[in-house]
Amino acid sequence: MSGARRHPGLSAPSLLWRHSATDPGAALVVALLVLLGCFLAVATPRTVAALHTAALAEQLAARPASELDLTAEARSGPDPGPSEGASTLPDDVDAVWGAQEQRLRDLRSALPEPLRGATGDPLTVLVADPVVAAVPGAEPGGPIYRIQPGFDPRLREHVRLTEGDWPAAFAGEVPGSTPAEIVLADAVAERLAWAVGERRDVAVLGGTLPVVLSGTVEPVDPEAGFWTHLPTGLRASVIDNGISAPTYTGVAYLDPGSWQRFATSVAAPVMQVWLPIELDQVRATDTSLLSAQLGEFGSVAHSLGSGAWIEIPPPPTSTPGTFVPYLSYSVVGDVGFTSGLRDALVAAAVSATAVDAVLATIASGPVGVVVAVLLLGARVVFERRRAGLELAAARGASPGQLRGILALEGLAIAVPAAIVGAAVGVAAVPGDLGIEGWWIAAGFALVPAALLVSRAPALSPLRRARSDLGGRSGRWRAVLEALVLVLAAVAVLLLVRRGVGDARPGQGVDPLLAATPLLLALAACVLVLRLYPLPLGRLVRRMAERPGLVPFLGAARALRDPTAGLVPVLAVVVGVAVAVTSAVLLGTVRSGTEAASAERVGADVAVSGAPFTRAQLDAFEAVPGVEAIAPVYSTRPGRLEVDGRDRTATIVVVSAQELRRVQQGRPDAIDLPAGLDATGGEATPVLVSRPIADFLAQGGDAELDGEPFEVIGVADPSTPFTGRPTWMLMDRENAAPFTETLVPRSVLVRLAPGADAAAAVSALSELAGAEAAVTTADELASELGSRPDARGLTVGLVAAIVISTLLTALAITLTLAVGRPARERLLPLLATLGLGRRGERALVGWEIAPVTVAAVVAGVALGAVVPWIVLAGVDVRTFTGGSTAPLVAYDWPLIGAIVATSIAVSIAAAAVAASVGARASAARATRIEEER
């Protein structure tokens, strides 16, 4: 007798498939949540890393290369000698400069990564003090032309000839009668009015030397960082104060192989050697390591030569017995390298830390909402599977088998979604592969299975319990709630007492700052769940005294058998709080940026750039719509000495009368003391920044560049004159002991009321020239807002608003889905008693409305408070550009619009979920009641 044949549809795999495929809507929601979570977990760290790298690149690009390059200076020449092995220098140049370049190359090769990869091939240039190049037959009182003798061993790689010839090797004596050949940049030759082939006499140590302009050149790449090391290499500097004759100064390039001929005759030669920083090789992820390597490299001296003195024998003399001393010059020895890159990396770290802190603070909320919604989704999936699991348990399935079924379904839902989400995240945001976010993605892949298994009871068959009859330990609930409240209070207290911490490269996200908003949200949930039943109970008692079933029944069900527990309340509270917090932070950053921009400009318009002549200043003042101007006549470094201790301070020279007129009525006007422009005193009256005042408060006699001064006022360190916080401001009438020339490079402009600002700015730009910049506060605010870190913060906050709003709506939808079985039991019974569709919808509203309203109120209050917590622990000045932290600004129209949108989306989601539930219950009411 043949064995019984089993039906193919009753095999274990087939039953599992039919079990999982039944009512797949909730499973799809969970899968989408896992996909979204894994996508964000993988893509967000890559996006933030790319954001930091872009912000770092922009900050570095805004600084001159001479400030960032690893640079050493020596008041000496190269230790002459050829390089070892192959050289890319011409033989005659290599004989003088080759050995030094070889040492520089070896020095770079020994650098560790990533510092070595961030540097380029070494460069060298030597420039001496300017000397007058007198024009033969020039009339007295005419322009003064000066050249700076310059030697560049790779001159022909940096410039190309536009006219004439390269300078020939010099074989004569200095001083002497043999002309030396030079080349000038086209713009310099034009300023110096020097034609190719023209000869001029140049003063050198011990006499004069004729110099001939053999050719003119233009840069191969005028934007190359090389030229920032030679400020007058391409364009002559101009000093024209309208009183004395204008002075023009530019670099004159001689044959680099002839350096030794000039070594003893040029004044104060300064040789710069540097390793150029390759900006495209500096990544934000290497900030910490790069900072450490830069500090280590700059802390030791490096040998570039012997440091000896080389003697040059005297020329043959025609007078026997005459003593002629040997001439000598020093060659480079040990040097120390400096670079502003480390400071730039620290500044970028401050910005990155602020971005990370704000985003982590905001992201902790949506992460909590995602977890909460996943809990709801898993609960809905479990409820959909409950009937089948009860049947399996009744037919002998063990608890282990039931848990295995739930675990397999959880893995089948989450693992494919996690893989897809992670893959989309990798494809959407290319970048270096790392482990950032992958652990979170793995957690999302496992969480649904764990949640489903946790829903299975320890014993079988499954039993249902009424939630309104207790079953939970009130004591343990009270302990946990008290613990949440205490942790939230302690976190806030620690954060406020600690204040804004110092950002360091590689510091990472502050866990206390990131966790505090979520702890506050949990505390708000505890308060909502504890407090909202109090008014709801009073409402139930009042409704019991009135006619009508629906209000009383809805309020009583919301009180005795609430569908919403901690999970949906947390979702609503956090979702609304994140949206409000993001709106407040957006408004705070925007208002802070506008205030800081106005403070940095210091007037209606600021013109800065090249030195301005007296004629240009007069033209600025004559522009239609311009009411007044205030030139900044000088901003130069000075040495402040107090009892043997010294520090550098920027000396700012203005006209107090002009500045008062320009800044009159402005909230950010500098308070200039009345005696600032007083003359004839023994000491110069000055206004100092607060850091300088703190330095002077240490006591003792103080001098500025060896001259006495009197502090008559103290001001905040932020000014439109200089970016440095240490400055001393004086009136131009008292500036003679501290500066010889008063050549303004920036001018503050006040516009007349009702003036056409655009037309005035256009006219000022035309008068200032292409090298100058004309800035208004609005333009500066727009520029600050367009920086990568500011854009990233804005995008992150907007994304948090959108994601939180959608997750809140989804949480409400799933909450109603969790209560669907109870409605399917109740509504058919009420329908037989005459309850209509409108009453059914009202009961559904009562099911979710009371706790949702309470959660929304708590979320708005929490969202209004959290920004104060964030600003207590985050330095957001990196976004605003101001010297002081901005005050929290509430943009109530924006906040109202966001809250209204969030509520509208939630109501729409609840209406859809309720209508779907109502249609399903009407179709299955009779059968469900019979089965139960």
pLDDT at 748 over 70: yes
Cα angle vertex 927, ends 922, 931, to 5°?
135
pLDDT at 840: 66
pLDDT at 66: 87
Kindly state the average pLDDT of the residues 120-131.
92
> Sorting pLDDT into bands at 50, 70 and 90, what band is 884?
confident
Kindly state the average pLDDT of the residues 175-200.
92
pLDDT at 468 over 60: no
Kindly state the average pLDDT of the residues 562-584.
75
Least confident of 137-146, 165-174, 457-466, 844-853: 457-466
Which residue carries 């925007």 as its tokens?
590
- Helix H, strand E, coil C: the string for 480-508 is HHHHHHHHHHHHHHHHHHHCCCCCCCCCC
Based on its alpha-carbon atoms, the radius of gyration of the chain, rounded to whole angstroms, reads 39
Please state, for a pLDDT cut of 70, what percent of the chain lies above it.
82
Least confident of 793-807, 810-824, 876-890: 810-824
pLDDT at 266: 84
pLDDT at 60: 85
Kindly state the average pLDDT of the residues 296-318.
74
Residues 352-410 have pLDDT tens digits of: 777 777 777 777 777 777 777 787 777 777 777 776 777 777 777 777 777 787 788 77
pLDDT at 83 over 80: yes
Which residue stretches of 682-787 are H helix? 690-696, 757-768, 777-785
**Burial class of residue 139, CB neighbours in 10 A (0-12, 13-18, 19+):** exposed
In terms of Cα–Cα distance, which of 289, 345, 277, 288 is closest to 113? 289
Kindly state the average pLDDT of the residues 722-734.
87
Report which of residues 508 and 329 the model is more confident about: 329
CA distance linking residue 71 with residue 275, whole number of Å: 7
pLDDT at 839: 67
Strand-pair partners of 686 = 711
CB 525 within 8 A of CB 566: yes
What the block records as the tokens of 694 is 């703190």
Give φ, ψ of 230 to 5 degrees. Answer: -125, 80
pLDDT at 301 over 50: yes
pLDDT at 785 over 80: no
Three-state SS for 604? coil
pLDDT at 845: 67
**How is the chain split into domains, by residue range?**
12-66+345-460, 70-124+268-315+324-338, 129-261, 473-598+783-931, 610-771
pLDDT at 900 over 80: yes
What the block records as the tokens of 823 is 């409605």
Residues 403-449 have pLDDT tens digits of: 787 788 778 888 888 888 888 888 887 766 556 677 778 887 888 88
State whether the Cα torsion 716-718-722-724 is positive or negative: positive
Kindly state the average pLDDT of the residues 845-857.
76
> Sorting pLDDT into bands at 50, 70 and 90, what band is 687?
very high
pLDDT at 834: 64
Least confident of 73-82, 109-118, 617-626, 793-802: 793-802
pLDDT at 458: 41
Report which of residues 314 and 415 the model is more confident about: 415
Residues 469-482 have pLDDT tens digits of: 444 456 777 888 78
DSSP H or E segment with residue 574 = helix 566-601
Give the C-alpha distances (Å, rounded to integers) separating 870 from 507, 587, 593, 713, 788. Answer: 17, 14, 17, 34, 21
Report which of residues 129 and 359 the model is more confident about: 129
Which of 366-370, 491-495, 603-607 has the largest mean confidence? 603-607
Kindly state the average pLDDT of the residues 876-880.
73
| Overall pTM surpassing 0.75 (yes/no) | no
- Mean pLDDT over the full length of the chain: 79
CA distance linking residue 195 with residue 189, whole number of Å: 7
pLDDT at 155 over 90: yes
pLDDT at 919 over 50: no
pLDDT at 343: 83
The one-letter code for the residue type at 883 is S
CB 238 within 8 A of CB 193: no
DSSP H or E segment with residue 775 = strand 773-775
Least confident of 39-53, 139-153, 544-558: 544-558
pLDDT at 39 over 80: yes
> Sorting pLDDT into bands at 50, 70 and 90, what band is 562?
low
pLDDT at 444: 79
